[in-house]
Structure 1
Amino acid sequence: MGDIYRCATKVIVWLGPGTDDSLIAMQALRLAASHVRFDDVYRPLPKHEDNCDPDWLDMRKPLPYDHETWTSLVSMLNRTWFSRLWIWQEIFLSRDHAVVTCGKDTMPWNDFRQSIFCLIEKGIPSKYESHDCFLQAADICYLRNPLTIGRTLQRSQWAQCSDPRDRIFAVLHLIPEAERRLVRPDYTKTPGEVYRDLVIHTSVTTRDLNLLSYCEIGDQDSSMPSWVPNWAVPCLYYAILNASADANSGWLGHYTSTQETLVVTGHEVAKVTDSHDILSDSSSIPKTNRYSRLKHYHDVMRSLIRGLRYRFDQNFDRQVERICRTIYQNTFADEYEPPFHRHLDFKATLEFFSRVIAQDEKKAVEKDYLEKASKFLCAFHNIACGKTFIVTDRDNIGLAPRSCEEGDIVAVIFGCEIPLLLRPTMEGTFRVVGACWVEGIMTGESFLGPLPEGWQCIAHHDEEKGGYYDHFKNLKTGRIQVRDPRSLPLPDGWIEVDHPGKHLYTLYQREEEEPNKATRFDPRINPHYLRNTGVSTREFALV
């Protein structure tokens, strides 16, 4: 089926019969697309250089749409086409050949996606922002370059399909060919078997364990091992972005089918000794009541601060910057190159967080203050609420799933970019509790130690490839490089490969091997080599 859409000269996106409101919605989208377009990092550019209205390029200026137009857009974007999972491959493969059709009204798909970007970037008015249809339409419009199977499954989790096995099978044409070859649709298997086999094939064939970071013990089907993500249950947590805790290593271990055990190797960082739930039950607050929702987010942040002030006591003031980075998972604009405008500025966020700390809790929070602080409060809610703030026996702090318990282990596993929370069992095995963001170990510190002073790990955008790659920035000179400044000499017999993408990532191979045997995994990150640097590793049998 994928080949049909890939080879088609034209693909019609049929939204359904035309109505009065669909005519208004299509007209509004065409208007936006006629004025502005967006580049790969969603910076606005004029659609026509010789006819540019500056108001359309200024993302602070609201769209010139009235209430009827916005309600028409909501109505159209809530049509069933947008909710179906199988249409993702249709639109991804057809790309420039797709045409959106609603009744007799049509527009090119590329114009449609640019107009949706315009709605998102300029901002949905608060009266309509509670409608999920805008962000869901944007998720479909973002489909441009293949993502890993894990990121694709996470991004598409809200889309609907009647068969839970199709959560995997329906998105195979959206992922790189190397990953697609690992999965053959087989409807004789149960959903649990499909999900399990995906993890096994990916781990064994590619030495990539990143699928483990999508596990959540609270969502687990009792018939599946804890190391198998349950893709039938949507994950409510904000994705952990740009992590490289494993220092670009590959999986070391094996799978035992008789016991459904996945053996992995890694470093035990610390044990959880204290936790503070970041509670946020806003279900009783109407989505349309913006003030009540912002006040609720503010109250949740205050409650967290009270708990942490009590926990850290006199040391609290020295922990403020660490806490701020943790509750926002360090998702700030300056962690990108160029700075990503969608994310918060760290200095501004720290100033806001410090103001909340200094507030007199007995005084009522003014509405104007909440509105000005809305971007900080909404980001806090999206990233941290529903999780647990953890403290370990080695004074690490982080965010973990709500199902975490005292005694759970923070571990960095070879082949998994994000740290995992593991729960020991009486039998000496471990269950995967879920992924966690832990301050101070997210960029390979567990294996390589902290970055030298004046260096920062950033996500560097490459315009040619259209993606982000881990790079290192010298903050004194501004120089950006691929090589980690902590890198040690390569083991005997290993070399770095000269390849076309060497400005983006490093490949390694043994001197006597053919170039097609090159690997992206750093040969220095293995138990034997690390033991010589004083880093301990161990096996974890996951059940």
Structure 2
Amino acid sequence: MAFAGSRLPVYQTYHLKGAILMRAFNVVFLYKYQQFVHLHVKIDYLGILQASRTSIASVKHDYIYATLGHQAARKVYRHDNTQADQTKESLSPVQPDCAKRPSRVFKEASEAILTETGNLRLLSAVEQDERTIMLEGHPSWVPRWDTRKHCITLGDGLNITSNELAYNVSSGSSTLQRISVEGDVLMLRGFEFDEVASCIVSVPFERYGKNPDALDIKMSGSIHDILRRLHDISSPYTDQDAKGVTNGLATALGRTLTAGLTNWSAVQSSMFLHGPAAISDEETLDANFAAFISRSVAQRTRASQAGKGDRLQFLMDMQVVMANRQVFTTKRGFLGIGPRALREGDTCCILFGAMVPIMLRRKPNSRYVLVGESYVHGIMQGETMEAFREGKFDVADFGLD
């Protein structure tokens, strides 16, 4: 048994239904995922694919095909079908065929997941960098299932305080959704919320493992710089003097750097890195950040709470959340964290069916490239949906190449 983040040896095994799949697959044994699903009944096929990305398959097709024997795949692949008795109506969404290009296999699995989930959690499984975002021949909305993610997935996050998804930016939008695939284009509906004004790429959010003191040294100056930059913009987080160190700005930054949850370090050591089961506790979050500020940055914000805060817990939470991410600000003064591929001018969208804000980049053909998921402080529980219903935002259709 190994945990997420490890590289396991490759075993050779056969699919359980040899009559359907006539060849051997070089895959990592999936028994650990079967055990986990018994304990966490909410894990679906998307969760299985996310988890299996930490393993190795010598044939790219097998990142999909080797998981089809799992009980969570029953909605995308019907085991009792045979090629002889399948009709167009009964055909499973995913049909093993190693003659297909891997990109097509990944796309077919992604389409099946969109149908199964009825929402846009799939988009949070995409991780782009400056190289992959420009590649042709692979739709930007299709996760590269053969590539390990380098950051934890927020859009699948489970808040164990309420046992519900941690975020829901498009709450109440089920009747407004449009989720359809036209060729390689994913058609979605939602609205443009904001635009990226600046990316703070100088923040050194490297992973320091179990040496938080090294992270502390690196972070103290960077967080102080971010606070100073926030003072120079018009921010919705405070109506106090923008030139002073205010509790509103400090609170927004502390919660943004931890995505509004704590206990991420426990999540990091769990088997399923994609689906964080963290705790929503604003008082603890603020106290932990205040302890860090008090000691490391020497700015006594929320000094009354600093005594009971856990500076190291804040550092460990931030280390997990910020891996392969950067801080950004928007034109309306919001603060968020997004993928490293994010850049000035990218659009922050609320897509109906998405759990978190989705960052898009407009193309010359008026369609979009998916940049990735994000956390934007102050809108993660559907706050913008009320403004949308009041007519403050216009509904739009988005085509993702």
- Partner letter of residue 356 of structure 2? I
User: Which protein has the bigger helix share?
Assistant: 1
1:201-253 C-alpha deviation (Å, 9 max, x unpaired): 44467643321222223145542021111111111112212221121534415
Write the distance in 2 (CA, Å) between the matches of 1:150 and 1:224.
19
Counterpart secondary structure, 2:75: helix
Measured in 1, the distance between the counterparts of 2:281 and 2:100 equals: 47
The aligned residue for residue 285 of structure 2 is 349
1:440 match: 378
Task: After superposition, give the CA deviation of every residue in 1:331-359 in whole Å (9 maximum; x if it has no partner).
Answer: 247xxxxxx99648542332232233234
Matches of residues 368-447 of structure 1 in structure 2 within 5 Å? Answer: 373-447=311-385
The CA distance in 1 between the partners of 2:335 and 2:399, in whole Å, is 25
> Where does residue 215 of structure 2 map in the other structure?
297
Match of residue 322 from structure 1? 252
Q: Distance in 2 between matches of 1:534 and 1:280?
A: 36
Residue 245 of structure 1 is matched in structure 2 by 169
Give the AA of the match of 2:189: T
Displacement after TM superposition at 1:155 (Å): 2.3
**SS of equivalent residue, structure 1 residue 272:** strand
Unaligned runs of 5+ in 2: 13-25, 78-91, 158-165, 232-242, 264-275, 299-306
CA distance in 1, matches of 2:257, 2:58: 36
Q: Distance in 2 between matches of 1:409 and 1:330?
A: 22
Instruction: Tell me: CA distance 1:343–1:144, structure 2 relative to 1, closer, same or farther (3 Å).
Output: closer
Q: Percent identity?
A: 21
Structure 2 CA distance for partners of 1:386 and 1:92, relative to 1, 3 Å:
closer
TM-score (norm 2): 0.70
Q: How far, CA to CA, are the matches of 1:299 and 1:203 in structure 2?
A: 43
Give the alignment partner of residue 153 of structure 1, picking from 19, 24, 49.
49
**8 Å CA contact 1:423, 1:432 repeated in 2:** yes
Counterpart residue identity of residue 29, structure 2 = I
Structure 1 residues 455-488: Cα deviation after superposition (integer angstroms, max 9, x where no partner) = xxxxxxxxxxxxxxxxxxxxxxxxxxxxxxxxxx
Structure 1 portions without partners, runs of 5+: 1-14, 16-72, 96-139, 334-339, 363-368, 450-529
Q: Deviation string for 1:340-391 (max 9, x for gaps)?
A: 99648542332232233234669xxxxxx9xx74332222101123311111
Q: Distance in 2 between matches of 1:91 and 1:170?
A: 14
Query: What residue identity is the alignment partner of 1:540?
Result: F
Deviating above 6 A after TM superposition, structure 1's stretches of 4 or more consecutive aligned residues are 81-84
Equivalent residue of 1:311, what SS?
A: helix
Contact 1:92–1:174, Cα closer than 8 Å, also in 2: no
Aligned to 2:227: 309
| Equivalent position SS for 1:175 | helix
**Counterparts of 2:277 and 2:352, CA distance in 1:** 32
Residues 1:190 and 2:101 aligned together = yes
SS of 1:354's equivalent in the other structure is: helix
**How many correspondences in the alignment?**
323
SS at match of 1:388: strand
**Residue from 44, 59, 62 that aligns with 1:166:** 62
Equivalence for 1:480: none
Aligned-pair CA distance for 1:189 = 1.3
Q: Residue 379 of structure 1: SS of its match in structure 2? A: helix
Partner in structure 1 of residue 190 of structure 2: 266
Partner of residue 29, structure 2: 87
| TM-score, normalization by structure 1 | 0.53
Change (3 A) 1:376 1:206: closer
Find the aligned partners of 2:280 and 2:380 in 1 and give their Cα distance.
Answer: 19
**Hey, what's the Cα distance between the residues in 2 that align with 1:189 and 1:143?**
35
In structure 2, the residue matched to 1:280 is 205
Other structure's SS at 1:442 match:
coil
Counterpart-to-counterpart distance in 2, 1:209 and 1:159: 24
Give 3-state SS (helix, strand or coil) of 1:415's partner: coil
Q: What SS class does the counterpart of residue 365 from structure 2 fall into?
A: coil
Structure with larger RCO (C-alpha < 8 A, sep 6+): 2
Aligned to 2:238: none
1:447–1:535: 8 Å Cα contact kept in structure 2? no
Tell whether the 8 Å contact from 1:146 to 1:175 is kept in structure 2 after alignment.
no
Aligned counterparts of 1:315 and 1:170: Cα–Cα separation in 2: 57
Give the root-mean-square deviation of aligned CA atoms.
3.6
Say if 1:243 and 1:442, in contact at 8 Å, map to a contact too. Answer: yes
Quote the Cα distance in structure 1 between the aligned partners of 2:199 and 2:392. 30
Which residue type is aligned with residue 234 of structure 1? Answer: R
Letter in 1 for 2:62: D
